[in-house]
Amino acid sequence: MPHALHPDLLRAFVTVVDHRGFSAAAQRLNRGQSAISLQIKRLEERLGVQLLERNPHLVRPTNEGEALLEQARKILALHDDLANRFDKQSLTGVVRLGAPEDFATSYLPNVLARFSRSHPGVVLEVTCELTLDLIRRFEAGGLDLALVKREPGSGVTGRRVWREPLVWVAASEEAAKREDLPLVVSPSPCVYRSRATQALDTAGRRWRIAYTCTSLSGTHAAVRAGLGVSVLPKEMVPSDLTLLDSEDSGLPDLRDTEMALIEVPTLPIAAERLRETIIRELEHGPTGG
């Protein structure tokens, strides 16, 4: 019979990898650094392999550690769901979460559904707004957690939980051939709008705002109608819209977009659990819907 792998050993390993070190992992798990080191040693001894490469500046998984990491996340997710479901002291409270509409309607529903199944006593209040509006609401004390689109050098802190290429989309390839490129965008301030216009200005390409809409569905409808070109994360492009290749269309490349999770200094327990769920399922891929 193989040696049993206690969830605490797997959790220590995953936390060390996620936080890139033993000290940060110990703080996150509220344990001593020596205790975390001992748990990793025990896990390596039971598996008979080295899981981590260590030097004074970096801790990273070995090839064997990478192979274990994905499976360990799945085991911990199932373990936590089972423990939460039969926890006699059911978690309660209200968590105020903010997110951009496009993200809230594409990636978040499965994450929030999974959380709600595990914690039926927690009430989720989700607000969908533009990133800069979310930041203002967060700074005013109106949110516990917020997922925000982060521009390099913007000063927005928080933990990156998602990253994806931005692409140009249109109803057809003909839309990109117009002399003054018509744009379908959200109102200012919008990260994708500024990305598009700055990239076009840098490339010396003329453009004009052809259609402005606050909703994602409205943006899709305008692009489908041939009113102009828009910018979307690659995995959010509807199947009936055309993804414009930069080389063929002559449109400039766009930098990747990333989502950061920001949080108030002192989180309620319910919000802590939601934060952990978001990080686990977005940063490392969903574990089930």
- 89 is written with which tokens? 């002291």
- 183 is written with which tokens? 């744009």
What is the 8-class DSSP label of residue 284?
Answer: S
For the whole prediction, is pTM greater than 0.85?
no
- 256 is written with which tokens? 């990747």
Residue with tokens 């216009």: 197
What is the 8-class DSSP label of residue 213?
Answer: -
Phi and psi based region of residue 279 (left: phi greater than 0; alpha: psi -120 to 50; beta: remaining): alpha
In order along its 289 residues, the chain shows pLDDT tens digits of: 355 788 899 999 998 888 888 888 888 787 888 889 999 999 998 898 999 988 777 788 999 999 898 889 888 878 877 776 666 457 889 999 999 888 888 888 888 998 888 888 899 999 998 888 899 999 999 999 999 988 765 666 788 888 888 999 999 888 888 889 999 998 887 888 988 999 999 999 999 999 998 888 899 999 999 999 999 988 888 889 999 887 777 899 888 888 889 999 888 889 988 998 888 777 654 433 3
